[in-house]
Amino acid sequence: MGYARTTAPRDERVREWEAVEDVPGQPDVAAAARVYGGVAADERRSRRRGALVDAALDLLAEGGAPAVTKRAVCARAKLNDRYFYEHFTDRDALLTALVEEHTALGIVTVVTAAREAAPDLHSQVYAAADAAIGFLLADPRRQALLLNAHSTEALQAARLTTQHAIARAMSAVGRELVAEPTPDPLDSDMAAYAVVSGTLELVAAWMRGEFAATRDHLTDLIARLLLLTDNSGVLQVAGVKPTG
């Protein structure tokens, strides 16, 4: 004895499903479908992206830029290829995003430290320098990111973008902390760029062991460089002058 088919074809079931959400008084089944395991779709996508970026940072620290491949990143993140392409077009896009995200985190850390320091310029500058070095030392993988900044074209381009972003943040904070009118913003931005690019190279050299200095020594030196106030001092050019 045969049985009549009672299950609608897939296309019809989909149309029926979509139609339900338009019925007044019915639960939003489409919204319910977007929640899985109590986690909304957007949150799942965000977590997958975070897992891919974190996996890339792990691999970079372990084997340098050559170790960061699409296959290795997906394996480390325990995600398949389609989730990689959900967020990144290729490895270079992932590396660029990695640098941008950690740069943004570092800027927030440094700016917050400067604003929370005692209200004198010396304390604020020292706090910023200490926070910057502390941010890198807090996660050895960030040190690897800095040390590999010249290893691929994508990382090199991201490094230049990073230097400009940090310089703009430094220039903006400097203008915020100093009540006096500042000179041309272009001069301020270029002076900040000179300080930032030089400081990043100095810190990278210190991490490679090229200078036998303690962290405190390095922090103090960077702070003093930032506080130079003679006629050629970078911060004076940027409009930043000690208040005492």
Which has more pLDDT, 8 or 188?
188
Lowest mean pLDDT among 170-179, 208-217, 220-229: 170-179
pLDDT at 84: 96
Q: What 8-state DSSP symbol labels residue 207? A: H
d(CA 193, CA 210): 23
The pLDDT of residue 47 is 94
- Using DSSP, state whether 174 is helix, strand or coil: helix
Task: Report the pLDDT value the prediction gives residue 188, as an integer from 0 to 100.
Answer: 77
**pTM of the full structure:** 0.76
Q: Which residues contact 117 (CB under 8 A, 6 or more apart)?
A: 123, 124, 126, 127, 128
Q: What is the mean pLDDT of the chain?
A: 81
The answer, yes or no, to whether residue 5 has pLDDT greater than 90, is no
Residue 61: Cβ within 10 Å count: 18
Model pLDDT for residues 198-209, shown as the tens digit of each residue: 999 999 999 999
**Which uninterrupted H or E stretch holds 234?**
helix 234-237
Estimate to the nearest angstrom the gap between the alpha carbon of 175 and the chain centroid. 23
Integer CA distances (angstroms), 127 to 89, 103, 205, 241, in order:
39, 18, 21, 17
The band of 178, judged by pLDDT with boundaries at 50, 70 and 90, is low
